[in-house]
A and B are shown apart, each in its own frame.
Chain A
Amino acid sequence: MSNRTTLISYSEDVDVLAELQSIATQLSKSMNLTSIAVTINQSAEENEMLSKVVKDELISVTARNHNYVTPELAFQVLKRIVDEKKPRLIIIGSTRDGKEVAGMLASYLDCGIASDCSSVTFDSNRLLIQRAAFGGRVTATAELAGESAIIAVRPHVYRPPEARFTPLVKSQEYQDIPLRIVVENVARKVASATDLTKAERIVSVGRGLKRKDDLALIQKLADELSAAIGCSRPLAADLGWLPEETHIGLTGVQVKPKLYLAIGISGQLQHLAGIKDSELIVAINTDKSAPIFQNCDYGIIGDLYQVIPEFINAITQLKNKK
């Protein structure tokens, strides 16, 4: 048993930090802990938004002379807060930066750590997590024991809490925390309007697409189906044809639409891990032996360049009939 009495949550992304508040609130109640959220260099508006969903305390940190919050800076700040608050549990958004901060804190505190968790529960005095392993083929359930623990929770698994709180809001300021990693340039992505995790229908495309221009065809189908567009990792990461936040898979977004249409996607484990909670999976692929056909509800073995125009026609006709 631990006699520590606080729970600290953090993410460099305020929207993710807001989401984390539902699990933080839940666990702080069942584990009898004070729930404290930490922001670093966020605007007054963002802190205001967060202060509505944080249960007990919001610490808004200003680290002077650092425009951009790197994991190195976040670790330096959180280390100071952790030294003071001695948390029983630290919950961090499992983004790439978040996992780095979580790892550093786990080393610093020499405590248990679990990253990319899709669920956290406190049951019969045991802190249990679930996470995917082996390319998403396996779900591991594990216990985190010890005085304190760090859990990095996957973004978009939880929704921000409905409840409204009036936490204690504290401001802290740090001057010139020395850093060794210099940020030379920040190329921020434009946030996309569609949130794939909430989409009812997704049209997703993979390496079967020959040219970037052919995305117009996919877009047309998506429009007809009122669907969002997603893709497999190579299209976003290697080719850059679609934004990174549309990359569906173990290392990207995990989706659960009513209809998932996989076009020219072979269905590697990495990708399947991101779509396994879809209600209906439809695959279109030229390769009969593609693993996607073992993991779909309906499949068409055929050339997307012939099937998709035909499909668009069929849907349009169907709509005209109505």
Chain B
Amino acid sequence: MPLNIVVLLKHIYDENQLKVNQSTGEVSFQGVPGKLSTFDRNSLEAALRLKQKLGGSITTLTVGPQESERSIREGLAMGADRAILVKVTNILEMSANEVARIIVNQLENLQPWQLLIASEGGADTYTSVLPSIIAEKTGLPLFSYLKSLDVLEDGTIKGDRALERGIITVKGKLPAIVSVVSEINEPRIPTLLQIMASTKKELKTVVPEEQIQADRYFKIISLSGKSRERKRVIFEGSAQEVVPELVDSLLKEGALP
């Protein structure tokens, strides 16, 4: 049974390059480069492996600004067949409910598909609630936090959910929504040839069907990047030299038992 899979990809600000004013805690996004949200590579890799096994096609779906194209091209280079970008400018101000509504609208247009794969969370906001909102709105079952995933010829879906309290093995039937954790696989790195070929693949940009309004229910009031100043006393040398120095410092700090 060939599978039509939809994979959600998000283009985010690179959290490692965010600019934070250490004294005021002010956060600036100006000039901060974007990237494909880290865990989304795992979702796409999971889809690619299922396609390898069962055949079918992979469409990536992104809600975000025009700059998202860069991340979407990476997805196409990894092996997605085509991509859709729903262009919005204010994604950071949108709630999961609103993003989900846009996605569910697009999912209608993408019919028929059998599997939607999302990651455990965006590396920027890490709210982790989008898959469950999509599941509720589409009425489909959600197999969340999977660390392993398999789909059988007869449309059975199986996987291991990685939870705080243990590993739960679950089973059900397609169509379904899935979210995966980063341990599920090691995402492939596209070759130069694949990167070049990806520019020829279809990337469709659409505007949302509904008027997007700033969220009525969830308003960011402030962002603060303030963190505790650390002493940063670094010792370098042989273990015999540096360990006594460290022990001395820790004694002075009263940190040893």
Contact = CB atoms under 8 A, between A and B. Distances in A.
Nearest to B100: A107
Given A280-B253, A298-B249, A135 B235 contact: no
Interface residues of B, number: 85
Contact of B136 (A108, A226, A288, A314): A108
Contacts of A139: 223-226
Interface in B214-242: 215-228, 230-240, 242
Given A138-B18, A144-B218, A226 B257 contact: yes
Q: Most chain-A Cβ atoms within 10 A of its Cβ — which of B126, B169, B244, B253?
A: B126
B233 A297 contact: yes
A135 B129 contact: no
Given A145-B216, A318-B256, A186 B168 contact: yes
B18 A137 contact: yes
A288 B15 CA distance: 22
A301 B236 contact: yes
B20 A137 contact: yes
B interface, by DSSP: helix, strand, loop or mixed? mixed
Given A146-B217, A180-B172, A296-B230, A96 B256 contact: no
A133 B132 contact: no
Interface string B128-156: 11111101110001111100000000000
Interface string B110-128: 0000000000110111111
Given A106-B133, A180-B173, A318-B256, A96 B164 contact: yes
A269 B227 contact: no
Interface string A16-34: 0000000000000000000
Interface in B47-93: none
B129 A106 contact: yes
A282 B250 contact: yes
Given A110-B97, A114-B218, A188-B166, A297 B230 contact: yes
A298 B253 CA distance: 11
A57 interface: no
A299 B232 contact: yes
Interface string B191-232: 000000000000000000000000111111111111110111
A115 B257 contact: no
A309 B171 CA distance: 48
B181 interface: yes
B189 interface: no
Interface of B: 13, 15-16, 18, 20, 27, 95-97, 100, 120-121, 123-133, 135-137, 141-145, 158, 161-173, 181-183, 215-228, 230-240, 242-244, 246-247, 249-251, 253, 255-257
15 contacts: A99-B127, A103-B130, A104-B132, A104-B136, A106-B133, A113-B95, A113-B97, A140-B222, A180-B141, A181-B170, A184-B171, A186-B166, A187-B169, A244-B162, A299-B234
